[in-house]
Amino acid sequence: MSLFGKSKDEVEAVTPKASGGQKEATYFGKKLKIKGNVSGGGDLIILGELEGEFDINGKLQVAEQANITGNVKADHITVKGNIHGTLSAVEKIHLDPMAKVKGHLNCQRISVMEGALIDGEIKMSGQSAQTSYSSVSDKSPQSKSDETSEKK
């Protein structure tokens, strides 16, 4: 018998674990103001203000009230708040209607909801992006009008 009448087998420390092989999520609260570099594995949800470099092996979510100044790299980036800097996603960048981004966006895929503001440049790379660019450039408006006139 140990303290408070429980046997040793009944007393266990509970460690939170991500279910189903999911990565752990870390929150930076809305009252936090952080300057510096952040890197690591797992998902990150930012509610406050951050200034610096971010390199996350996981998903990054920027909440509506969040403000980020700096360069951000993650597997998947979702923005609802404000970012001033370069966003680089291994997979995808998603901008919600309240997102305000000033800077460069580098990704394979992007989705921009109506209302989101982008002041900068979007660069898409990867095989799927190159395929869509080549198919569009092959059928430019000039070449379409040339095809029409040749048929007459």
Residue-range definition of the domain harbouring residue 76 = 22-127
Tens of pLDDT, residues 47-75: 999 999 989 999 999 999 999 999 999 99
Indicate whether 94 belongs to any domain: yes
Q: Is the pLDDT of residue 113 over 50?
A: yes
Q: Provide the domain count of the chain.
A: 1
Indicate whether 58 belongs to any domain: yes
Q: Which residues are CB-contacts of 44 (< 8 A; sequence separation ≥ 6)?
A: 25, 26, 28, 38, 54, 56, 58, 59, 60, 61, 74
Answer for the pair 82, 96: CB distance below 8 angstroms, yes or no.
no
Tens of pLDDT, residues 14-43: 333 444 455 688 888 888 898 999 898 999
Give, for 132, the enclosing helix (H) or strand (E).
helix 127-138
Average pLDDT on 134-151 reads 44
Residues facing residue 122 across a β-bridge: 105
Indicate whether 49 belongs to any domain: yes
Q: Which of 64, 39, 65 is nearest to 54 (CA)?
A: 39
In this predicted structure, what is the pLDDT of residue 145?
47
Torsion 138-120-97-114 (CA) sign: negative
Confidence of residue 100 (pLDDT cuts 50, 70, 90): very high
Average pLDDT on 68-88 reads 96
Give the span between the Cα atoms of 69 and 81, in whole angstroms: 11
